[in-house]
Structure 1
Amino acid sequence: MSLNRPILSTEAEIDFNKKLSSVRMMVERSIGLLKGRWRCLLDKLPMTRTDFIPRYIIGCCVLHNLCLLRNDEIDVPILVENHNMLQELLPLDVNVNDRNEGIVKRENLTRLLNQL
């Protein structure tokens, strides 16, 4: 594997990046909706036991869904940055082993998604 390999090289990887970008925007919007309704999620959670944090967040999700079922909409504008994953990104200062490992993972994910 060459270290000078471009970030986007194959059609499969470009397609993968488009799908990843789309899903990432959905996730960011979902997190934004939760933070808009449950302001306690904006900063740090008021708890010291980190093993309870996933349950706390799931509880916020359940309550959010119950609010939606009761048509309790929030009027907080949700701003999600427009990420264009296809634009040229400045290279990060990453060590060679981590970069090569990332390339292998990306190729494996691309291959798996193309099999679906």
Structure 2
Amino acid sequence: MTVQLRRVYDQPSDGDGLRVLVDRLWPRGLTKERAAVDLWLKEVAPTTELRRWFHHEEQSFDEFARRYRAELADNPAVAELRRVVAEHPVVTLVYGAQDPVHNQAAVLRDLLA
């Protein structure tokens, strides 16, 4: 099993495997065709409150990751994500954030490892 990350606004790749959007909100300005998302698991995304608190500020990422992992511990959508990952040799978690390192998809990838 391989879990990769890719920004949803980047061009899809043949090596992406199953593309899973892990944002609560649909990416602004993207059509479903251009996003090439196979599955949208918005329930696995951070809560609106946590997302607003974090506001993608790099200096807050460690605390964001801690709080997000706490949310995920009680989130049944994590089991769905684990099932999907187990069923596909390559899964790409796609996200809308501009920062490729400090985002919820990175936390999810680490959780799945």
Structure whose alpha-carbon radius of gyration is higher: 1
Structure 1 or 2: more helix by fraction:
1
TM-score normalized by the length of structure 2:
0.28
